[in-house]
Chains A and B, each alone.
Chain A
């Protein structure tokens, strides 16, 4: 990564800085101010869009820790979102605890169950681990659907209690917008902090070669399970947040397909990069919106093409996007963004 001309790191503290120059700080403040001012434009569509995208980004950050940094492939990520969503809702509904507290407990539950399903990662990896996490997806959703329908609501939807914080009721899209954006900023800084600490370096070592990492003195059990805990904690938190925002959850919100979509978003955004989840979620969600607009348009031109054109376009464009990215830019949009920044900094020279 190239630096701006004239910016040198003369000690380690400087080397680890997130905000390197005052332009970084100004840019970040401007970006946050822009997002905080968005509700004043009163555009309900974009608020809803950003809310759902931001919740997805929080879940993707967990997946990024687990798969992008620690290299433990997980294709059952939405199941852990379901664990967070359901456990927080059930706690709040059955015991009358405040929902914000239940959200944290729900995220912890998801993390602990993540450790449980991370246990096979100590013996198997690669494809086998991917299949174990797929199994986790099916088993968790089965446990939600079938054995205790009077508590979990079974296959039908479950109502979520109102979200209040210090006597303030979160009701409108705008209220949730501020809540979600604040939480997104917090989770981003937390994950960035974890990943540039000792833990993050251990994760990267395990991803690159776990046997070599073990030989270097990294405790594989501890760090793999820690990665599972963190990744699933994020997922559970995102799930609980989604439950509080959507006010109604059902097992159909957390299918294997959604897990595949999340992994695809992360790959398109860029694995192992803080910006990856942002780019990936935005790219795919925007692509979806475009398909939803283009679908009726296409079917108005060619009427015999059928009513499901939008749904089919959404799926097909996602499949093609994943394949094209993996074939031509496996490091995702985040890598392109780095290249763009580099060439901007070096302009007008090309080296």
Chain B
């Protein structure tokens, strides 16, 4: 029982980070109907950028985060201008392959810049101790990252519900033409969603990298987050978080009880089952197609 609870809590912690990255993914899908296959590479590059500012330039955490957020959001804006604006209204395969092209490019860039720094760790920000919550030992690193993720998700929800920019983005997500005719710049809204997704991915990369070290394997998180978003339903933030938690818990439990090999594929097995039985996910909108 003790191991079960421990595995479960580890799963929830990692799953919340998956959920956070899945939120970035859902954001881009909602605003521009594009599946961002480069999410994983954005996570990986974001983690390395965090390492550069924290471990190489020795900035304090808050300043380093601000710098990285600024850089990646600029990159997000740039990506919208080229090549993603060209992809509006293109067939699905073209949008998939464009984001895959971005992913491959980012991977090449990471190989060029950081190929000797595989498996490095962030400098310690807090001293690692174990805290007990209801008698269950709990690493304080995962506790604080859980708190941070929850804070970020709440902040994002607030941003979408109440801020003017968030309102614009939601309108653009609903219907491009309608939003445009109401005086909202749709391209700007899409660019903002890419920038926020980049920030969210960099944060996810930072948290995951802090827990398990930074390497190119972080890029695979993107696909797991994508599976999580699909399980949760592509249109829903709470679905994305819930899907992420499901994926994290499933991974932790299979890793703990069955084996490492299955751990790597269990998210995809869950995703295929969900796709066969409930193609639009737990909270997604069912689409009715007409000719």
A319 to B99, CA, bound (A): 9
Q: Is the CB of A330 within 8 A of B104?
A: no
Interface of A is mostly: helix
- Interface stretch, picked from B9-17, B68-76, B188-196, B265-273, is B265-273
Check if A189 is an interface residue, CB within 8 A of chain B: no
Q: Chain B's nearest CB lies how many Å from the CB of A324?
A: 8
Are A211 and B111 touching (Cβ within 8 A)?
Answer: no
Are A307 and B115 closer than 8 Å at their CB atoms? yes
With A131-B275, A132-B272, A315-B111 as known contacts, state yes or no: A142 contacts B104, CB within 8 Å.
no
Pick the contact of A135 from B96, B103, B272 — CB < 8 Å? B272
- B289 close to A (CB within 8 Å): yes
Q: B134 on the interface (CB 8 Å rule)?
A: no
Q: Of residues 48 to 91 in B, which have CB atoms within 8 Å of A's CB atoms? A: 82-83, 86-87, 90
Interface string of B115-143 (1 = CB under 8 A from A): 11000000000000000000000000000
Nearest CB of chain A from residue B222's CB, rounded to whole Å: 11
Instruction: Please tell me if the beta carbons of A323 and B102 are within 8 angstroms of each other in the complex.
Output: yes
| A341 beta carbon closer than 8 Å to chain B | no
B275/A128 in contact, CB under 8 A: yes
Max chain A C-beta neighbours (<10 A), residue from B90, B112, B264: B112
* Contacting pair A312 B104 (CB below 8 A): no
Report B149 CB to chain A, min CB distance, Å. 24
A145 touches B96 (CB 8 A): no
* Chain A 103-139 per-residue mask, 1 if CB under 8 angstroms from chain B, else 0: 0000000000000000110011011101110110011
Q: A120, A145, A147, A308 — which one has the most chain B CB atoms within 10 A of its CB?
A: A308
Which chain A residues lie closer than 8 Å to B100 at the CB level?
Answer: 75, 260, 263-264, 322
- Chain A residues lying within 8 Å of B291, measured Cβ to Cβ, are 209, 211-212, 215
- Which label, helix, strand, loop or mixed, suits the secondary structure of the B interface? helix
- Residues of chain B within 8 A (CB-CB) of A100 are none
Q: Is A313 an interface residue (CB 8 A)?
A: yes
| Residues A322 and B104 in contact, CB atoms below 8 Å apart | yes
Chain B: minimal CB distance from A80 (Å): 16
Scan B224-257; emit 1 where CB is below 8 A from any A CB, else 0: 0011001000000000000000000000000000
Question: B116: which A residues are within 8 A, CB to CB?
Answer: 306
| In the complex, chain A residues whose CB is within 8 Å of the CB of B102 | 319, 323
Give the distance in Å from the alpha carbon of A131 to the alpha carbon of B272 in the complex. Answer: 9
Q: Say if the beta carbon of B197 comes within 8 Å of chain A.
A: no
- Knowing A123-B276, A316-B108, say if A326 contacts B268 (CB, 8 Å): no
Q: A241 CB to closest chain B CB, in angstroms?
A: 26
Q: For the complex, what is the distance from the CA of A306 to the CA of B111, rounded to whole Å?
A: 10
List CB contacts (< 8 Å) of B158-192 with chain A: none
Contact partner of A128 among B97, B103, B264, B279, CB < 8 A?
Answer: B279
Cβ-defined contact, A315 with B265, below 8 A: no
- Which residue of chain B has the shortest Cβ distance to A155 in the bound complex? B261
The CA of A63 and the CA of B223, in the complex, are separated in Å by: 22
One of A127, A314, A316 near B35 (C-beta < 8 A): A127
CA distance A242 to B289 in the complex (A): 42
Set A123, A260, A309, A320: member contacting B112, Cβ < 8 A: A309
User: Could you count the A-B residue pairs with CB atoms below 8 Å apart for me: how many are there?
Assistant: 149
Interface: B107 (CB within 8 A): yes
Q: Roughly how many angstroms separate A250 CA and B101 CA in the complex, as a whole number?
A: 26
- The answer on a CB contact under 8 Å between B35 and A146 is no
Cβ proximity bits B268-287 to A, threshold 8 Å, 1 near / 0 not: 11011001100100000000
Q: Are A315 and B97 in contact (CB under 8 A)?
A: no
| Residues B93 and A67 in contact, CB atoms below 8 Å apart | yes
Q: Closest A-chain residue to B269, C-beta based?
A: A139
Q: A267 at the A/B interface (Cβ < 8 Å)?
A: yes
Would you call B111 and A308 a contact (CB within 8 A)?
A: yes
By the criterion CB–CB under 8 Å, are A130 and B96 in contact? Answer: yes
- Minimum C-beta distance from A74 to chain B (A): 10
The residue on B at minimum CB distance from A125 is: B92
B93/A267 in contact, CB under 8 A? yes
Tell me the complex Cα distance, A2–B8, Å.
Answer: 66
Residue interface mask B194-235, A partner, CB < 8 A = 1: 000000000000000000000000000001001100100000
Contact of B93 among A73, A211, A321 (CB under 8 A): A73
Instruction: List chain B residues, Cβ under 8 A from A179.
Output: none
B92, A127: Cβ atoms closer than 8 Å: yes
Contact B279 A145 (CB under 8 A): no
Residues on the A chain within 8 Å of B97, using CB: 263-264, 267, 322, 326
Whether A146 pairs with B104 at a CB distance below 8 angstroms is no
Is the C-beta of A318 less than 8 angstroms from some C-beta in chain B? yes
Residue A160 at the chain B interface, CB threshold 8 Å: no
CB distance from B220 to the nearest CB of A (A): 9
Closest Cβ–Cβ distance, residue B162 to chain A (whole Å): 30
Complex Cα distance, B287 from A211, in Å, reads: 14
Tell me whether A59 is interfacial, beta carbon within 8 Å.
no
14 additional A-B pairs beyond A142-B262, A320-B105, A322-B98, beta carbons within 8 Å, are A120-B276, A127-B92, A131-B227, A132-B271, A138-B268, A145-B261, A146-B261, A315-B104, A316-B108, A319-B107, A322-B97, A323-B98, A326-B97, A327-B83
9 A-B pairs within 8 Å (CB atoms) are namely: A123-B275, A130-B35, A135-B227, A142-B265, A146-B262, A260-B103, A315-B105, A316-B112, A323-B105
- Chain A residues with CB under 8 Å of chain B are 67, 73, 75, 119-120, 123-124, 126-128, 130-132, 134-135, 138-139, 142, 145-147, 209, 211-212, 215, 256-257, 260, 263-264, 267, 271, 305-309, 311-323, 326-327, 330
